[in-house]
Amino acid sequence: MTVVTTSRKPLPEVRSLSRDLAFAIGAEYVTRGKAGMGDLFSRDGSVVIVSKSGPFFLIQTFVNGEAVTGIALRSFTVEERTGGIARGLFISDRPVYEALKDQIDAVFAGETLPGHRIVFDGTQRRRYTLEVVP
């Protein structure tokens, strides 16, 4: 099973993003606390770590302790979702989709989403739009 967590001392917005990302992809959210990388990698399945580094947010995926991909996000917005919930990630950037499709429930939506974006539905009627750094 996929696990989503944060950096050790995340900002509240990173924690919220991580929880809702886990919800969207059907993964388990794990509070990082003082857990080291070895503790995270000892779990079965892939690990997704969300963090903030300087002006960017980062989403890193690991499988069997090996880094698979790192995605830099310029920013993200949260808006109220209208209508039904859609599970998974909807990605308009082909390289990002190719990097994530084997680890995360993702759909290529290049025809319907403008720019370099990832869109997903979180809990409590939230919809996230992540702007990927090209």
At residue 110, the pLDDT reads 84
Q: What is the third-level CATH fold of 3-132? A: Rossmann fold (3.40.50)
At residue 116, the pLDDT reads 94
pTM of the model: 0.93
Average of per-residue pLDDT across 43-53: 89
pLDDT tens-digit readout, 4-44: 999 888 999 999 999 999 999 999 999 887 777 777 778 77
Query: E-strand spans in 1-134?
Result: 3-6, 28-29, 46-53, 56-63, 66-80, 89-91, 106-108, 117-121, 126-132
Rounded Cα–Cα distance for residues 120 and 59 (Å): 14
97 near 91, Cβ under 8 Å? yes
